[in-house]
Amino acid sequence: MFSLFKKKKLPPAYSKLPVMTRMELGIFPENIRTEVVGHDFCFDWHAVSAAAEKQGCNLDDYLCIPLSRRLMAKSLKSPVTFWFAPLGKLFVVTAYSAHNVDFFDPMLRMPGYVEYGGNYLRSTARPFLHWDGKNLFRVHAIVTPPSGLFILADFGNGFGLDVSETDEDTYCEIRNNPSMYFEHTAVMQGNPSTTSTNAPLIKHVLCVSTWG
């Protein structure tokens, strides 16, 4: 299969993705699930998939690019974390901040949006985007750091956003066909940051914790 991404092994001293804890990132502690009400934005899987296909992107970019633009435009001083949770034929993006931050723009204008509400964090929710007041992080929530080069994030897992190791062939296939693999994102450890046209720089980071 023809690949735009050349298969090239990195040297032993390649730069791995940063590994940080919740506290280091500034993500709320575990009691957030029962003590803090977040802003829930519900989306229809099918409608979002169709919209993302037209844009030629996967779910990750569909969510992260407009949210990152909004975060940079707001220039917020306080941290904000966005969590993802599956909900049958829907999925939920929950915004959490120590302050009441309005993200109706861009969320309500995005194709596939269904409804808004306030709720405690679901047990299947995992953080995927974090703003620490200065930097944007694409958070890959894991229990233990991976040992390999390639990371796969699966938004379509019914038990929650799953992050695991993958191989080079899978990485290249997903990177070459983002809309075909709408629910997946593949990242190589030697590439700690990504950006898209007219979008801010997003730093990839592994966040090690017990989730659920």
**pLDDT, tens digit, 9 for 90 and up, residues 103-151:** 899 999 999 999 999 888 888 899 999 998 888 999 999 888 888 889 9
Provide mean pLDDT across the span 16-45: 76
For the chain, give the mean pLDDT. 83
Whole-angstrom distance, CA of residue 195 vs CA of residue 102? 24
What pTM was computed for the model? Answer: 0.86
Whole-angstrom distance, CA of residue 27 vs CA of residue 96? 9
Residue 31's pLDDT band (cuts 50, 70, 90): low
DSSP string for 165-211: EE-HHHHHHHHH-TTTTTTEEEEETT--EE--TT---EEEEEEE---
Kindly give the pairing relationship between strand 150-154 and strand 162-166.
antiparallel
Whole-angstrom distance, CA of residue 32 vs CA of residue 96? 9
Model pLDDT for residues 159-192, shown as the tens digit of each residue: 889 999 999 999 999 999 998 999 999 998 866 5
Q: What is the pLDDT of residue 155?
A: 96
Q: Give the pair of three-digit tokens for residue 185.
A: 């994102």
Does pLDDT of 153 surpass 50?
yes
Query: What are phi and psi for residue 155, nearest 5 degrees?
Result: -75, -20
